Amino acid sequence: MEKNTCMILALDVTDREEALRIAEDVWEFVDAIKVGYPLILATGLGIIRELAEFAPIIADFKVADIPNTNRLICDQVFEAGADAVIVQGFTGRDSLDACLEIASEYRKDVFVVSEMSHPGGAEFLQPAAEAIAKMASEAGAFGLVAPATRPERVRKIRKIIGDKLTIISPGVGAQGGKASDVIAAGADWVIVGRSIYRAESPKEAARQIAEEIEAELRGEN
Ligand code: O7M
């Protein structure tokens, strides 16, 4: 995945036409589009190939099963045309390895969730996050998912993994995180959903966040 705008669109709408319209509107401001259960359950796996016309597609299924089931899920996801899959790390190294094995067959990427952005993410997952980050790094994942709502945690996780893995960070806007803060804390990409797709003009909203990130990277904030 190429790093240009440092932004990923979380396209959690449930209508095919709306999804395609928003993708067409904002593609120039995002490096990838993340699709997950809401859109895929509503419209079918075929939406991945349709959206892939606009940007690389990250399939957010937060895969969290035994190795054999993970293997079967990842195979379907990559066969459907996704460029990367998001998996949970708490299921352990063997489950993660199964995803990495399939990803490597397709020459695609795996992101591992280390800690989640909502308040409940601090309950059970946060205490395990640093161990999950280390495991993902040792296993050779492409990147981690870390919370934009807690930039200090992004900074900590970046410290643990060094530059070996990328970090994608959800929780900007609707959940309270600020894009420039998260990029400053060491994230490679922010993930933004509602602040873009619910905006009166998704294009303007995406442009504004892209400009905020650009200013941060130029050291102007
Ligand atoms: O910007 P939002 O809040 O509308 O959307 C954020 C998106 O990121 C949405 O698709 C969530 O499911 C996802 N997300 C989180 O918000 N928090 C997390 O900790 C993890 C994810 C995610 O993408 O996991 C892979």
Residue 198 CA: nearest ligand 1 atom is 4
What letter would DSSP give residue 172? B
- Say what the pLDDT of residue 58 is: 99
**Closest to 179 (Cα-Cα) out of 153, 214, 145:** 214
Task: Give distance in angstroms: CA of 15 to centre of ligand 1.
Answer: 18
Taking CA atoms only, the protein residue closest to ligand 1 atom 2 is 193
Task: Please state, rounded to an integer, the average pLDDT across all residues of the chain.
Answer: 97
> Could you count the other beta carbons within 10 Å of the beta carbon of residue 127?
10
Within 8 A by CB and 6+ apart from 46, the residues are 80
pLDDT digits (tens, 9 = 90+) for 49-103: 999 999 999 999 999 999 999 999 999 999 999 999 999 999 999 999 999 999 9
Question: For a substitution probing ligand 1, which of 126, 191, 195 has the most ligand atoms within 8 Å of its CB?
Answer: 191
- Say what the pLDDT of residue 221 is: 66
With H, G, I as helix, E, B as strand and everything else as coil, classify residue 199.
coil
Task: Give distance in angstroms: CA of 218 to centre of ligand 1.
Answer: 27
Whether the CB of 10 sits within 6 Å of ligand 1 = yes
Above 70 in pLDDT, residue 121? yes
Mean pLDDT of 205-219: 97
Q: Against a cut of 0.95, is the pTM above it?
A: yes
pLDDT digits (tens, 9 = 90+) for 148-188: 999 999 999 999 999 999 999 999 999 999 999 999 999 99
- Say what the pLDDT of residue 42 is: 98
Given pLDDT bands bounded at 50, 70 and 90, which one contains residue 135? very high
**Closest to 113 (Cα-Cα) out of 187, 63, 74, 176:** 63
Residue 173 CA: nearest ligand 1 atom is 1
What are the angstrom distances between the C-alpha of 53 and each of 27, 33, 49, 135, 187? 10, 11, 7, 34, 26
Mean pLDDT of 101-107: 98
- Say what the pLDDT of residue 91 is: 98
- Say what the pLDDT of residue 170 is: 98
Task: Give distance in angstroms: CA of 145 to centre of ligand 1.
Answer: 9
pLDDT digits (tens, 9 = 90+) for 12-54: 999 999 999 999 999 999 999 999 999 999 999 999 999 999 9
Whether the CB of 121 sits within 6 Å of ligand 1 = yes
> Which residues have a catalytic role annotated?
62
